[in-house]
Amino acid sequence: MNIQNLTNQEVEQLQMLLNKLNPPRFTERVYLDPVNKMIDDIIENFDFVKVHNVMEHLNWKWANKGVPSIDDLKDTARHLLKGATFARLHEYKHEHWEQGIHHGSGGFEATAFCNESKSKIDALHLKFVLADWDEEIED
């Protein structure tokens, strides 16, 4: 069959029949847990390319890996975000509800915050820390 000889109406009918045989797949994800959506949004919007470029420039290597790939960076960030989320609602549930719980590794710092009843996560933060310093005076 030569589809170049078909009329517009015949092309539309053919497309409709093909769609019935092979329906288009939906790409929109459905989230049962809003935390998974937050994590996916962070992974999608965080500038991993910039982090990777800095790590390459500084020759910043991870143990037994060398400079990590962008996929390695994303996997680690996802792991840290999930870890901070779990820790905030479980092993650190006794901490004040406004206290964020941090998980960090390889330059990344993931922080999870919960609601006042400590029953759900209401905020997640991810940052890549190149340098940091603080001091305190204790009485």
Nearest of 41, 109, 119, 118 to residue 79 by alpha carbon: 109
pLDDT of residue 123: 95
pLDDT of residue 24: 60
pLDDT of residue 31: 65
pLDDT of residue 126: 98
Q: Tokens representing 98?
A: 């406004």
pLDDT of residue 57: 96
pLDDT of residue 26: 61
Q: What is the pTM of this model?
A: 0.74
pLDDT of residue 44: 95
pLDDT tens for each residue of the chain, 139 residues long: 566 677 767 767 777 777 777 766 666 676 677 899 999 999 999 999 999 999 999 999 998 889 999 999 999 999 999 999 999 999 988 998 989 999 999 999 999 999 999 889 999 999 999 999 999 998 8
Q: Which amino acid is at 101?
A: I
